[in-house]
């Protein structure tokens, strides 16, 4: 998901951010920074998954949880229901993944 988001931010930023004036000075830089963050997180999650490293996966999902918790707060502050609902669901998913990654193997 993170890798797909990073590609979409570069190819078609208007499809990802419809409320942002993409012609404003400096916005293209912020979009590229956001795409880089998403790409890095996607690579980290993919690497940790391929290596089956519980500590790396735990750390990556904690990062996701913190990021989505911040998005949830921003959504509430901006009265953006789609942002806080989506971020709330993603917080739940990240929390669930942290729980299952740290379960002892049977």
106 residues of the chain, pLDDT tens digit each: 777 777 777 777 766 666 667 777 877 787 788 888 888 888 888 898 899 889 999 998 998 899 899 999 999 999 989 889 999 999 999 999 999 999 987 6
Closest CA to 31 of 53, 14, 51: 14
User: Is the pTM here over 0.85, yes or no?
Assistant: no
Which runs of consecutive H residues, i.e. helices, occur in 12-53?
13-16, 27-51
CA atoms of 5 and 100, how far apart (whole Å): 25
């Amino acid at each position: 998901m993170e890798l797909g988001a990073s590609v979409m931010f570069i190819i078609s930023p208007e499809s990802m951010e419809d409320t942002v004036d993409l012609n404003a000075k400096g916005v293209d830089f912020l979009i590229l920074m956001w795409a880089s963050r998403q790409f890095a997180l996607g690579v980290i999650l993919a690497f940790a998954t391929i290596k089956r490293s519980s500590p790396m996966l735990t750390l990556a999902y904690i990062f996701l949880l913190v990021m989505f918790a911040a998005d949830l707060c921003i959504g509430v502050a901006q009265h953006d229901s789609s942002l806080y609902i989506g971020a709330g669901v993603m917080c739940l998913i990240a929390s669930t993944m942290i729980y299952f990654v740290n379960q002892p193997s049977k």
